[in-house]
Amino acid sequence: MSFFAVDGLTMRFGGLTALDDVSFEVDRGMIFSIIGPNGSGKSTAFNCISGIYQPTAGKIYFEGEGISGLAPHHIARLGIARTFQNIELFSTETTIDNLMLGRHQHMHSGVWSGVAMLGRATSAAREETENRERVQWIIELLDLVRVRDRPVGELPYGTQKRVELARALAMEPKLLLVDEPSAGMNADERAEVAVRMRELRAELDVTILLIEHHVQLAIGLADRVLALNFGKPIAQGAPEEIRQHPEVIKAYLGDG
Amino acid sequence: MLPQVLASGLSAGSIYALMALALVITYKTTEVPNFAQGDMAMVSAFIAYMFLTDFETGFIFAFGVALVFAFLLGVGFEGLLLRRMRKPTHLNLIIMTLGFTLALFGFAGWKWGADQRHFPFPISANEVIRFGSVSISTLSVATILIAGILMLLVFVFFRFTKLGVAMQATQQDPIAARINGVPARAVVGLTFGISSVIGTVAALLTAPLITLDPTLMWDALLKGFAAAVLGGLNTPVGAVLGGYLLGVIENLFGAYVSVEFKSVVAFLIIVIVLWFKPSGLFGRHHERKV
Amino acid sequence: MIEPTRDHYQDIRLFTARGSWIKLILLLVVLVSLPLLLPGYRVFTLNYMAVFVIVGLGMNVLVGYTGQVSLGHAGFLAIGAYTMVLLMTRLAVPFPLALVMAGFVSAFFGFLLGLPALRLAGPYLAIATLGFGLAVTQIIAHSALFGGHMGLVVPDATVGPFPLSGDVSKYYVIVGITFVLALGVRNLSVTRVGRAFRAISDSEIAAATMGVDVAYYKTLSFAVSAALTGVAGGLLALMTGFISPGVFTFTLSLMFLAMVVFGGLGSITGAVLGSIVMGYLNLEMDAFQELPVLGPALEGFSERFMSTVGLPNFGWVVTGMLIVFTILIEPRGLYGLWIRALDTTKRSKSTDADLSRSGPGAD
């Protein structure tokens, strides 16, 4: 049984088919890229995996269990974290509070213990302190120390993308879904993203599923690549095969 | 007894249908649930009252002034307040209409006091017409007729006049409408004006039935919302049907179950409908895309 | 940039700076001495404002944090008040226990109302809660158990051996409870549950993908908000000595929403300030007449153009206008104005220092 598998995933909105019979498998520790032109169904696939959409047909398996049909928060608790193409941060909250939200499922304080946080020794305070310590290294790893206590809404776009990634990492996921990490970035920043992804994989025990519009970046990073066009899988294989695949070349030339 | 109950239901339902229609046509255009709808109509009814009692004008003139005032109030509310908001989120829009309603409520109380006043009206609420076993007041008959005719006019306006069709086009797709030369901003203002006039007709028909005071339209506002939710906040025809339905259900409940808790029916209907079919009986559901 | 010695408790502790202890002691001194300094009838006003502050805290949890709107909180206030009074009169439950029960019963109704609320957004929820508030008063007004339109007299309350007679002794109970509840809500807001609440209003979808059970927390926020409002209802009954359905109106619900909007949604300080201002306005509707210069002018204006009997209603106009202008000018309310003021002073202080360094790109 593979670590993560998608089998015959299909998603229709009314008459529009956004995903058509997509299947792939991801092994533990891989970086798996999904590429495709705009509107090819990449983000729809992520929304199905993280439970935001209920797929029209098909199954999704994570560590041998079927997860399609589960609510988003259940899927998150199984160890799947994600970022969004259009950043979905809690914009009025500070960076650290955004990350602490990533700790939600690892913490336990409820209303009563929260209200009764009367000193350092009370349970809620201890839990808060411990978890803040735990995410500190992520803040340092992603170079967010200077913006730790600033509301994320006022940070530059690139920094917000890093905060979102940090928040997903704070969840200590087994599978990380990264949606367009290099969107809106220049060549230098893209290179930095590539380095960071490799770093993450090396330092954390995390499998990465990557959606990327920028083909070179996606293929360069990946151990395995799936190419979509108009919701249909057109090619799947090792990066070298994909680079030379005629269908892929055609899809991208057509897209301009 | 049943035909009698249905007749009263129809008469009450006419008011709810008018309020529901007024609420729905602005909601469709701007997604604003206008909580000031009731008090805008209440203040307009007081304007008519002022002309009738203080200036002793005729009914037609006084009501005409009230309707013109209502139109301007609607247009002004949209143009001077709603449109100028910095952050027009759902919550802020709702709160804006609530703030406006409180100000209007206070204004009416300040100007005319909280006393319950007798509202002069050309048609009596005490004279009764008999249809077989059913007896209903001339005021109820007039209410049913006037509301019916007005709603028919509104539909004819939106379906068959050039301006009405253009307004509907703007409601459905503001950008496309602008390309076709329909000034979207003017349309939104106009919608609020028309909706305010419809609400005011409801108020003018309610005031002689009960008495005139600043709380005149509170009940009608809730019922209008309940009716609109029942029929579908996005569907004017549905909302009107919802209004009649609510009037009838409420009166049936009052007749056969409990008079005291008649007013609770509207709330129950809201909760039940929203639970099982959030888009209303006649509406279609929209889902948010990520 | 690594800070190995950071104390992470620093982030969530109540007093971040040394001066804040002094501020707290000052606040307590003021709160304790206030009823001794003011004339007796003003203490009643203070009690009223404190009750409003508790409701404001509750509204802030619901509207400010989870972004759910309620136009029916007067209903929870009524549920709290009637629960407490009925427990005291019918079952001879002592006041402190009856007050706690008022919170729990109200929370239960909050939970019930929270369930349909899960499926409703924006306008629909506003309408449903509006209906709820009206339904509560209707049911109370028509039931013999609740005394109908005539209302109920609140029995004398005692805390242990001490009778609560007179506004001053009630003041210490009410303000003490308000203070404790405010601290509790503040603690809640910086810990796990409060964070989940706020995440929901920012982005429900993102919250869910972080593992937050959105349905659970939305219902929970209704229950917490209703519990606070229920306790406020009990205290309102205690301070007025009499309750009737006429107290718990739709306009009161609007007032409750108004005060958190005016104070600043999502900010506890804002909610407290907004509630104090609006509570005062709501009770002292005729306060404007007593103002030194404006008062007579207002009276003159009323006589000429409006009416003098209706002058107390001027308070509603002011309340409504405050909401309208808050939304127009500073949607974050008083709290937003405060933040802006801080920003401008900071900026004017730091401009010189910043100029010497390299400007942009130093995020």
What CATH number does residue A47 fall under? 3.40.50.300
∠ CA A189-A190-A193 to the nearest 5 degrees?
A: 90
Q: Does A140 touch chain C (CB under 8 A)?
A: yes
3-state secondary structure C182-206: HHHHHHHHHCHHHHHHHHHHHCHHH
Which pLDDT band holds residue C58 (cuts at 50, 70, 90)? very high
3-state secondary structure of A150: coil
Partner residue opposite B103 with nearest CB, options C138, C320, C331? C320
- Shared domain for C77 and C108, answered yes or no, is yes
Q: Which residue has the higher pLDDT, C305 or C227?
A: C227
What pLDDT is stored for residue C87 in this prediction? 96
Q: Is residue C83 part of a domain?
A: yes
* ipTM of predicted complex: 0.89
pLDDT greater than 90 at residue A183: no
What's the confidence (pLDDT) of residue C363?
A: 35
Tell whether A25 is covered by a domain. Answer: yes
Determine contact: B257 vs chain C, CB below 8 A. no
pLDDT in tens, B87-135: 888 888 888 999 999 999 999 998 888 888 888 888 877 788 888 888 8
Instruction: For residue A31, tell me if it sits in a domain.
Output: yes
C224 chain-A contacts, CB cut-off 8 A: 111
Give the model's pLDDT for residue C286.
67
Residue C303 counted as domain residue: yes
pLDDT in tens, C225-254: 999 999 999 999 999 999 999 999 888 998
pLDDT at B197: 96
- Say what percent of chain C tops pLDDT 70: 91
**C141 and C215 together in one domain:** yes
Confidence of residue C109 (pLDDT cuts 50, 70, 90): very high
| Domain shared by C271 and C168, yes or no | yes
Does the residue C296 lie in any domain?
Answer: yes
Mean pLDDT score across all residues of chain B: 86
C219 and C229 share a domain? yes
pLDDT bin (cut points 50, 70, 90) of residue C347 is low
Task: Report the alpha-carbon distance of residue A164 to residue A98 in Å, rounded.
Answer: 8
| Domain count for chain A | 1
Pair type for strands B128-131 and B134-137: antiparallel
Same domain, C314 and C276: no
Beta bridge partners of C331: none
Is A57 inside a domain boundary?
yes
Residues 137 through 196 of chain B touching chain C, CB cutoff 8 Å: none
Residues A3-26 have a mean pLDDT of 90
DSSP string for B126-190 = S-EEEETTEEEEHHHHHHHHHHHHHHHHHHHHHHHSHHHHHHHHHHH-HHHHHHTT--HHHHHHH
Q: What is the mean pLDDT of residues C25-42?
A: 87
A54 in any annotated domain:
yes
Same structural domain for residues C100 and C248? yes
Do C52 and C68 share a domain, yes or no?
yes
Task: State how beta strands A80-82 and A175-179 pair.
Answer: parallel
Chain A residues in contact with B290 by the CB 8 A cut-off are 43, 47, 52, 84
Q: Is the pLDDT of residue C362 over 50?
A: no
In a domain, C9, yes or no: no
In terms of C-beta density within 10 A (0-12 exposed, 13-18 middle, 19 or more buried), how is residue A223 classed?
middle
In a shared domain, residues C276 and C295: no
Of C184, C196, C208, which has the smallest distance from its Cβ to A115's Cβ?
Answer: C184
Whether C351 is covered by a domain: the verdict is no
Query: Would you give the DSSP letter of residue A149?
Result: T
Which CATH number is C127's domain given? Answer: 1.10.3470
In this prediction, residues A228-239 reach a mean pLDDT of: 89
pLDDT at residue number C350: 53
Instruction: Give mean pLDDT, residues A166-191.
Output: 89
C327 shares its domain with C261 = no
Q: Count of alpha carbons within 13 Å of A120, Cβ hemisphere only?
A: 5
Tell the burial category of B237 from Cβ atoms under 10 Å away from its Cβ (0-12, 13-18, 19+). Answer: middle
Q: Cα-atom radius of gyration of chain C, to the nearest Å?
A: 22
Chain A stretch 147-206, residues whose beta carbon is closer than 8 A to a beta carbon of chain C: 147, 155-156, 159, 167, 171
Residue C211: domain span: 40-284
Closest chain B C-alpha to A132 CA, distance in angstroms? 30
Say which amino acid occupies A205.
D
Please indicate, yes or no, if residue C203 is contained in any of the structural domains: yes
Q: Residue A22: pLDDT band by 50, 70, 90 thresholds?
A: very high
Query: Range of A26's domain?
Result: 1-79+176-184+208-256
pLDDT at residue C73 in the model: 95
Of the candidates B90, B218, B270, which has its C-beta nearest C122's C-beta?
A: B90
Identify the chains in contact with A, defined as 3+ C-beta pairs within 8 A: B, C
| C190 occurs within a structural domain | yes
Interface test with B, best of C205, C306, C327, C330 (most B CBs within 10 A): C327
- Reported confidence tier of residue B64, pLDDT bands at 50, 70, 90: very high
User: Considering only residues 86 to 105 of chain A, which have any Cβ-Cβ distance to chain C shorter than 8 Å?
Assistant: 88-93, 96-97, 100-102, 104-105
- In a domain, residue A132? The reply is no
Distance from the Cα of A95 to chain C's closest Cα (Å) equals 12
Task: Select the residue from C324, C326, C329 to test the B interface by mutation, using most B Cβ atoms within 10 A.
Answer: C324
Size of interface B-C (CB pairs under 8 A): 168
Do C269 and C292 sit in the same domain of this protein?
Answer: no
Q: Is the pLDDT of residue C357 over 50?
A: no
Which of C319, C205, C332 lies closest to C261, judged by CA?
C332
A69 alpha-carbon distance from chain centroid? 19
> Is the Cα torsion angle B188, B190, B192, B195 positive or negative in sign?
negative
Residue C29, domain member (yes or no) = no
Residue B280: helix, strand or coil by DSSP?
coil
Which positions 84-113 of A are in contact with B (Cβ < 8 Å)? 84
Tell me if C313 and B109 make a contact (CB, 8 A cut-off).
yes
The domains located in chain B, with CATH, are 2-276 (1.10.3470)
**C212 lies in the same domain as C340:** no
B93 CB neighbour count, 10 Å cutoff: 22
Which helix H or strand E contains A235, and what residues bound it? strand A232-237
Provide the number of CB pairs (under 8 Å) joining chain A to chain B: 4
pLDDT of residue A247: 86
What is the band of C349 on the pLDDT scale with cuts at 50, 70, 90?
A: low
Q: What average pLDDT score do residues C298-316 get? A: 80
Mean pLDDT for A49-78 is 92
Domain count, chain C: 2
- C301 and C168 share one domain: no
